Amino acid sequence: MADFPWINPEWRASASGTSSVVLLHGAVVNGEELLPLQHRLGQLGYKTRLFRYPSMRKGMEENVLRLAKFIRETEGDVVHVVGHSMGGVLTREVFERMPDPRPGRLVAIGSPFLDCWVGRRYERLFSRLGRYVIGKTVKDHISRVPDPVWRGKRDFGIVAGTYRIGIAAIFPSHPRPSDGVVTFHETELQGVRDRVTFRLNHFAMLLSKRCAAEIACFLATGSFIHGAACREMAAVAEESTSPALR
């Protein structure tokens, strides 16, 4: 842990069994942006698996079923799931409808649970071509009436960003605050265990060491770190990290 001093040793994966983390990317992208977070969780002793899904070609239901199967086939006495953006929405669907019986916790990063304003806007902007721009999974998501309450049994933590730089920033009417893609309101799923907010944009949250520390803490304890304690434990990391990634 000498080269990783900002992580509390108590956040390491349990030594009494195998702990795995399934990571999910968002819509349109393919998961490469999750590699820094995957690496950091691996340094804590977690076995990590990246679930890649075809958000453009396949709809919500098919990808939910594929994710449920992927989680069932993931080895581990404890299986956590961390989803970015639409990956968090898929995670919610699986664990409300067909949860894995093993223990574990869930984290969603910048996930549009209550709506997807940018998806709706791009669909309208491109008219008939809209579904080819946002993909079938997002299309299915915005076609449904959202349930604002978490109905699952697992501890669920939400990470949200408020730095408005991203693909939605070109629209002056994009609701604020937002992370440049997902509005803060869209992340406000009720009934979750804990939530934390960073002044980071949609993808910078995946590169941030402070964000990785929050996720590691939640997986280990069921709560995020907040306030002065968080700042103190992140201070070493910030000294070697550029401002754009903090």
CATH number for position 76:
3.40.50.1820
Interatomic CA distance for residues 23 and 88, integer angstroms: 10
Backbone CA torsion sign across 159, 161, 162, 168:
negative
3 within domain boundaries? no
146 within domain boundaries? no
233 within domain boundaries? yes
- List C-alpha distances in Å: 217 to 113, 117, 226, 238: 23, 31, 11, 18
209 within domain boundaries? yes
> Six-digit token pair at 188?
């406000």
Per-residue pLDDT of the chain (246 residues; tens, 9 = 90+): 444 555 788 899 987 889 999 999 999 999 999 999 999 999 999 999 999 999 999 999 999 999 999 999 999 999 999 999 999 999 999 999 999 999 999 999 999 999 999 999 988 887 666 667 899 999 999 999 999 999 999 999 999 999 999 999 889 999 999 999 999 999 999 999 999 999 999 999 999 999 999 999 999 999 999 744 444 444 443 443 334 434
Number of domains in the chain: 1
pTM over 0.85: yes
Interatomic CA distance for residues 142 and 4, integer angstroms: 40
132 within domain boundaries? no
121 within domain boundaries? no
Contact of 227 with 2, CB cutoff 8 Å: no
Contact of 188 with 114, CB cutoff 8 Å: yes
Contact of 53 with 63, CB cutoff 8 Å: yes
Q: Starting at the edge strand that comes first in sequence, how are the strands of the sheet with 106-109 ordered?
A: 47-51, 19-24, 78-84, 106-109, 156-161, 194-198
* Closest to 142 measured CA to CA, from 205, 108, 186, 172: 186
150 within domain boundaries? no
133 within domain boundaries? no
100 is in which domain, residue-wise? 19-114+155-245
Please give the backbone phi and psi of residue 29, each rounded to the nearest 5 degrees, phi first. -80, 175
CB-based burial of residue 44 (10 Å sphere; 0-12 exposed, 13-18 middle, 19+ buried)? buried
